[in-house]
Amino acid sequence: MDKGGIPSWILSLDSEDIEFIRKFVLNSGSLKKLATCYDVSYPTVRTRLDRLIQKIEINEEQEKENLISFIKQLAIEERISLEDARLLIEKYKLERKEI
**CA-to-CA distance for 21 and 95, rounded, in angstroms?**
28
> Length of the chain, please?
99
Determine how many CB atoms are found less than 10 A away from the CB of residue 1.
Answer: 9
Q: What is the count of structural domains for the chain?
A: 1
Report pLDDT digits (tens) over 10-63: 888 899 999 999 999 999 999 999 999 999 999 999 999 999 999 888 877 777
Domain of residue 26, residue span:
3-98
Determine how many CB atoms are found less than 10 A away from the CB of residue 34.
Answer: 22
Closest CA to 45 of 23, 13, 62, 73: 23
- The DSSP call for residue 77 is T
CATH of residue 45's domain is 1.10.10
pTM for the whole thing?
A: 0.63
**CA-to-CA distance for 99 and 96, rounded, in angstroms?**
5
Report pLDDT digits (tens) over 66-97: 888 889 888 888 899 889 999 998 998 888 77
CB 56 within 8 A of CB 9: yes
